Structure 1
Amino acid sequence: MGSYSDSTSDLDEELPVFDFLSQVSRSHAEKPGPGDAEGAAQLTAVKGSVGKRPADVMMISSDSDDGAPYVPLAQRLKQKRDNVITASSAVANGKYAEPRLMSNLSSFRQVRTASDGSEDSAALPPKPLSCTETSPAKRKPAKRSAEEMQASREEALRRRQAREGQQKDKGALRQEQERQKAERRALAEAAKALRPEECIKRMVVAVDPALLQLEGGGTLLASVQALGCSCTIEKQPLPRSISWMRRTPCAQTEYGVCKPEAHVVMQMTVDDFIALIHSYIQEERQGRSDSGPSLSSWVQEQQRRHPDKILSLVVIDLEKYFRSNKSQSQKRFREAVAGEEQGGGKAKKKRRKNGAAEVLPEVSRVELEEAVVHLQLHTGVSVHFLSTWKDFADHIAMTTKAVAEAPFKRERDETGFSFCLESEWAGGQKSDKAGKGLLQVWKRQIQQLNRVSPDMASAILAAYPSPRLLQKAYDLYKSDREKIALLSDLLIRRGEGVTSTTRRVGPELSKRLFLLMNSRDPEQTLDATV
């Protein structure tokens, strides 16, 4: 009985409370053991057996007399509590949770069986769920069939192809947008290049190197560069010629594409030009064609070789040739009068030895003009006669401006109306909402008629400042003859002061104004008889 008191004194200490132990205590309270001391010893053993395997269970009773050192019950329960906490943390980590829990339950059943000889199933705690039952996300997936795997591969392939197709479509759309943007930029640059202030900057003047070897080559280059256009020196198909190229904007290249123009200006020497005209005279008057090509035949041959070119010729200092011929003819006349024919023959031979200019054939001004007119009628090629190389450089500069502005002028003529002339005397006139400018509008309407000068329009405007006043004046007369003659006697004044003159408007203009204001036939011409 002494041992029982010791154990009861130990039981009075404050012990930790566990859930499954509370169930065991309730079961024991309902079904007590043979004795209170023995039940307390068994309860202590059960509490210490939790968390150990069945082989490690140690039965403690009040009658044990072995020589093991005594350990207080509170300390032993604290050690067992630490083991239980360690086991619960292992359950939380998913490692050896279920085996340890089952071992504890097995130990608990063995203790109950040894103590009272029967296992109380009602006192056992509920069986815990396994990890596979509590966490379905960690369940091992079932094996898929070959058909499902093949369908999954096909679906993945289809999705990848769809993504690649979308990427390709986006890339093609982006390229198309870039192309359209480049085309719009090129069109804007092309429209800008047609402006008169911009077109000259895009011109390239190609000069033949043979021209630079002459005395006016430097003047020509300076005149071209002063325009602001580019200049290139390259051999041309026609000797001593100048051609033009235009840089057009292009989306692929930064500087654009150079397109050649059709106009070509060729400089001819006086010797070659006179020789061609002399051959033409021999062919036309004497029917001889063995003397060489004439001016027209030579130009036609050049046109046949270069059908896409518009040729024009320039001859510099032709007057020097005529002055030389005039002085020679006067000298021969003086020699003939003085009776020095023999000396004149010797002098003639001597002159032919001095230079080639003395042996040029004689061509009169009339013959030259005849050959030039024949050339223009049959080939359409014009010839310009200039005095100095400075004039030639100015002519090239003027031609460069004309070639540069030609597209702008063609577009302007195509978009304009044939009956609305853009000039100072028949152009448009602006007016505001207050009526300012309507008087000039009425004057311009009168000036649009054929053969109506500003003085004639001013005379009509002074008598009838508006179309409504003129219509009221027509309504005062009953017959058409009187209406037609209404404006005939209006005076037109020209000039000022003592030099001023006057004349009448006349019946013709009066009749046209009457038809303009009163005719109901839209197809009737203003010059028709009434």
Structure 2
Amino acid sequence: MIDSLQSEDLRSSSDSDEELPVFDFLQPRPSTDVASQKAPKKPASSVLCSVGSADVMMISSDSEDDVPLAQRVKLRQERRSTPEEADDLPHRHLSASETGDATKATKRSAEEIRASREEALRRRQARERRQQDREALKQEQERQKAERRALAEASKSLRPEECIKHMVVAVDPALLQLEGGGTLLASVQALGCSCAIEKQPLPRSVTWARQAPSAQQNGAARVPEPHVVMQMTVEDFITLIHNYIQEERHSGSACSPTLTSWVRERQRLHPDKRLSLAVIELESYFRARKSRSQKRLRAAVAGEEAGGGKEKKKRRSGHAEKLPEVSRVEVEEAVVHLQLHTGVSVRFLSTWKEFSDHITMTTKAVAEAPFKRAREQTGFSFYLESEWAGGQRVDKAGKGLLQAWKRQIQQFNRVSSDVAAAILAAYPSPQLLKKAYSQCRTENEKLSLLSDLLIRRGEGVTSTTRRVGPELSKRLFLLMHSRDPEQNLDASL
């Protein structure tokens, strides 16, 4: 029996020594918690297991029987808290003084934010002002550049080869309705200038304007010129001259307007205009008047009296029969009186083609007038011939060389244009003169080569002649052969 009990004990002990099965979810999970590592070891009654991702704390009721279960759970949770949470715990309970300091810090930061916002606003406004100043400066520079460009264009438009392109010829519509209106319009357009058909203050007149370049883009202002050419009909012109003759004969008793009084009235109405008159086909009036005088003379000599048939023919002859008779001398007298008292000139033209040519030449003269006036302003009161200031232009074809040689001769003292022309007629170039010198045998013959050249002055019966003389001949010889740059050409040899 004893043996049976011992064998039974041995069997129970061996059974207790057998290893029990081990499950992973029942194994304790290693914890990195510092607090849990430092905590004292507890009895095996409490086991920490890992199920999935959640930590499950197993608490046995065998240990710590005197501590309530809820308090033990809370104690376990506090022990499992991380070091960072432990470090944050003291900061969670701040004193009243620390709370006041934090409030002051918050107030200071708000003031700083407001100050920084104001500073940013000031900087933005300053940046906007600088941008506006740059834009204003850029606009001013563009305006000045446009003004300089306009001045350059205006200066260029005054040149002889460019000025005609900037002219505007304004023609009265009543002038185009006459016989030569089409010819006039074609002649003006052939010049290359602009033509405008506009009603003018003076009927049957032509005015001019200049297109001055403007500083604005694609802008050109029209500057009117004072010149006006008015076409007068033969009927009006003869009538005004007849009134002038009647007034002169009757000592100013005539009430009808004369040529001078009519022009004065136009000048009073248009004081800014410079008027000139053009009369076309005045010769037809004098031819008709001469024909009538010859017919009357023949009728008086033959003793014929004007009959019914001839009378009817006279009535059909036109308005020339109704005009008063004025002689050529009376016309010249009236025109001279007009020029002396008003400064207005009268141009007599035979055909409408001549009138068109007159308008064309006037257009060119008006276009080139500013350039010529500027060229004459030399700035020296003693300098008379302003054309010498720019020298003589010579083109590639050699045009202008003759005038350059003539001016070179005229540089000598007391050498006029007539003297230079006489030398040019004999020797048109310096090379020909030098060749003539080389053909001379002696030195004296060279010095007197030009002495006997004739200088002619005037024309017709009033013309005079004289010789160049030995003095000028010597100076020209020195000019062509002297090797001394300091030699005085006027000194005697």
Same fold (TM over 0.5): yes
Partner of 2:76: 107
**Matched residue type, 1:306:** H
Give the Cα separation in 2 of the matches to 1:244 and 1:512: 51
Residue 392 of structure 2 is aligned to residue 427 of structure 1: yes
> 1:265, 1:314 within 8 Å by CA — same for their partners in 2?
yes
Deviations 1:8-36 (A, max 9, x none): 9789x997644336x755776xxxx6xxx
CA RMSD of aligned residues (A): 5.3
Number of the residue aligned with 1:499: none
Q: Which residue number corresponds to residue 19 of structure 1?
A: 32
Quick one: which amino acid aligns to residue 427 of structure 1?
A: Q
Please state how far the C-alpha of 1:264 moved relative to its aligned partner.
0.8
CA deviation map 1:287-343 (0-9, x unaligned): 134152221221122112111111111111111111111111111222222233x54
User: What corresponds to 2:69 in structure 1?
Assistant: none
> Is the 1:420–1:427 contact (alpha carbons within 8 Å) kept by the matching residues of 2?
no
* Closer/same/farther in 2, CA of residues 304 and 510 from structure 1, 3 Å limit: farther
- 1:366 alignment partner in structure 2: 329
Secondary structure of the residue aligned to 2:231 is strand
Partner of 1:97: none
- Deviations along 1:464-507, one digit per CA (max 9) or x if unpaired, are 97xxxxxxxxxx9xxxxxxxxx769634389xxxxxxx974226
| 2:246 matched residue in structure 1 | 282
| Preserved contact between residue 29 and residue 48 of structure 2 (Cα < 8 Å) | no
Residue from 404, 407, 410 that aligns with 2:373 = 410
Secondary structure, aligned partner of 1:411: helix
Match of residue 119 from structure 2: 155
- Contact 2:402–2:429, Cα closer than 8 Å, also in 1: no
Distance 1:420-1:132 versus aligned 2 partners, 3 A rule: farther
One-letter code of the match for 2:33?
F
TM superposition shift of 1:240: 0.9
Q: Which residue of 1 aligns with 2:59?
A: 59
Which residue pairs with 1:180 in the alignment? 144
Match of 1:210 in 2: 174
Determine the C-alpha separation between the residues in 2 that align with 1:329 and 1:242: 37
1:423–1:454 distance in 2 versus 1, CA, 3 Å: farther
- Structure 1 regions of 5+ residues with no counterpart? 65-102, 112-123, 134-138, 431-437, 466-475, 477-485, 495-501, 521-525
Secondary structure of 1:287 counterpart: coil
* Equivalent residue number for residue 456 of structure 1: 423
Find the aligned partners of 1:357 and 1:439 in 2 and give their Cα distance.
54
> How many residues of Structure 1 are paired with residues of Structure 2 in the alignment?
427
Paired letter, 2:423: M
**Residues 351 and 110 of structure 1, relative CA distance in 2, 3 Å threshold:** closer
Aligned to 2:269: 305
Report the 3-state secondary structure (helix = DSSP H, G, I; strand = E; otherwise coil) of the residue aligned with 2:216: coil
Structure 2: 5+ residue runs without aligned partners? 1-12, 65-71, 92-101, 396-400, 435-442, 456-464
- The CA deviation string for residues 31-73 of structure 1, in whole angstroms up to 9 with x for no partner, is xx6xxxx65665x44999x987xxx853249999xxxxxxxxx
Aligned: 1:396 with 2:409: no
- Contact (CA 8 Å) 1:429, 1:440: kept in 2 or not? no
2:459 maps to none
SS, match of residue 236 in structure 1: coil
The 1:9/1:490 distance shift into structure 2, 3 A limit, reads: same
Look up the SS of the partner of 1:361 in the other structure: coil
- 2:292 and 2:130 map into 1 onto residues whose CA distance is 91
Equivalent pair of 2:338/2:344 in contact (CA under 8 Å): yes
Q: CA deviation at 1:422?
A: 5.2
Counterpart CA distance in 2 for 1:324 and 1:126 is: 135
Counterpart of 1:20, as a letter, is D
**Structure 1, 216-225 or 351-360: larger mean CA deviation:** 351-360
Query: Contact (CA 8 Å) 2:246, 2:254: kept in 1 or not?
Result: no
